């Protein structure tokens, strides 16, 4: 396993001005820092200068996040000499589609975007995935800076270079790998996050603990969801470290990175079947984790105590357990067969082998999955 590296973005003459320490991602597609800190957005101009990003900045946000943070960010960047333009999309999963991407292409190309420019993605996972996909594909790719404002985006979707939009037949089926130049997670933004969004983010933190960090799992049991301040920042960094460990080993999801899909095979199917926007992504993943843990238990990979312990933690963080009514077993099975991880018609499942360990299996009988879903 590659070690997650912590380093300062600044040295020499600049070090007396600020000393933000970040986790570091190193992949074939790009090398960059992930910085998690309170009021980190105040330092955005200096960080962009350090990265030599001197072209125009195209800020993409949604109509819920932008009013809180967009004007301040734009003013700070303009004062530092950057040319900045901003645009918003409607908040919610419905914006993560090709139609919205096309409108963003029109905005960028109509505004004479250049290859030396950069897209700033300000918001949660929808904005990060959408803006990242647009940055990856306009002019065959321009620089991307992720500015996540939700817990889910901070610990998962903003890190690792996955970008994309949804298709009516499945989630994230259209996309590209495009590593950002920087991920800047300002934990101060979580104070204004709606409680439901915050709860949804904890699902990804718990997922990271389940697949790779038993100590983090125990810490989550001990602290609870009301944690704040530096303790919260430390939990976020620890969850991000899991993601970075895996991405550094397997950027393109050919092996190890598939472990990050724990809870997502059924979670994505449930999210799509319910109708995008009915369940938040983290809520669907939490339901998927509960079901996929039962699959692992039926396969003999874990015992019932692990299933119960995970279930208790998910419940304590306010995450749902039930599959929404009206969704059929046949519908979910059909959707899993369209999952990106399917190979030669076989679904590859990321399943827990213990608290803090997981494995990829492609030998899960469909009859077993049907039985677990029918019971749910």
Active-site positions read: 140, 162, 204, 243, 253, 257, 261, 264, 268, 281
Nearest to 117 by CA among 54, 203, 186: 54
Q: What are phi and psi of 291, to 5 degrees?
A: -70, -40
Q: What is the DSSP string of 277-327?
A: TSS-HHHHHHHHHHHHHHHHHHTTSS-HHHHHHHHHHHHHTT---SPPTT-
Torsion angle in degrees (nearest 10) through CA of 324, 257, 128, 55: -170
Q: What are phi and psi of 114, to 5 degrees?
A: -120, 160
Q: Is 228 exposed, middle or buried (0-12, 13-18, 19+ CB in 10 A)?
A: exposed
Please give the distance of CA 17 from its chain centroid, rounded to a whole number. 31
Asked if residue 245 lies in contact with residue 1, where contact means CB atoms within 8 angstroms, the answer is yes
């Amino acid at each position: 396993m590659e070690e997650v590296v912590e380093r300062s973005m600044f040295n020499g003459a600049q070090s007396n001005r600020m000393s933000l320490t970040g986790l570091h991602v190193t992949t074939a597609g790009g090398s960059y820092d992930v910085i998690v800190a309170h009021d980190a957005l105040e330092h955005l101009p200096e960080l962009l200068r350090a990265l030599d990003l001197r072209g125009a900045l195209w800020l993409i946000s949604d109509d819920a996040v932008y009013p809180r943070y967009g004007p301040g960010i734009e003013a700070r960047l303009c004062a530092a000499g950057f040319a900045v333009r901003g645009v918003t999309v409607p908040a919610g999963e419905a914006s993560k589609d090709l139609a919205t991407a096309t409108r963003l292409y029109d905005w960028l190309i109509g505004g004479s975007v250049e290859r030396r420019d950069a897209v700033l993605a300000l918001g949660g996972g929808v904005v990060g995935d959408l803006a990242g996909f647009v940055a990856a594909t306009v002019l065959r790719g321009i620089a991307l800076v992720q500015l996540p404002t939700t817990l889910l985006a901070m610990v998962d979707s903003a890190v690792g270079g996955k970008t994309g939009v949804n298709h009516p037949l499945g989630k994230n089926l259209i996309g590209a790998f495009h590593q950002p130049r920087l991920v800047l997670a300002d934990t101060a933004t979580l104070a204004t996050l709606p409680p439901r969004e915050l709860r949804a983010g904890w699902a990804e933190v718990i997922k990271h603990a389940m697949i790779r960090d038993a100590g983090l799992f125990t810490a989550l049991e001990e602290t609870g969801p009301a944690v704040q301040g530096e303790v919260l920042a430390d939990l976020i960094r620890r969850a991000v470290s899991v993601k970075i460990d895996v991405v550094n080993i397997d950027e393109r999801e050919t092996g190890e990175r598939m472990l990050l899909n724990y809870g997502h095979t059924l979670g994505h199917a449930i999210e799509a079947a319910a109708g995008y926007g009915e369940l938040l992504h983290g809520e669907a993943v939490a339901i998927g984790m509960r079901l996929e843990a039962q699959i692992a238990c039926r396969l003999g990979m874990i015992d019932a105590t692990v299933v119960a312990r995970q279930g208790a933690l998910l419940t304590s963080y306010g995450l749902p357990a039930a599959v929404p009514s009206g969704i059929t077993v046949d519908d979910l099975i059909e959707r899993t067969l369209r999952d990106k991880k399917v190979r030669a018609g076989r679904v590859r499942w990321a399943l827990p082998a213990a608290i803090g360990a997981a494995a990829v299996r492609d030998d899960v009988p469909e009859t077993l999955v049907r039985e677990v879903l029918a019971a749910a």
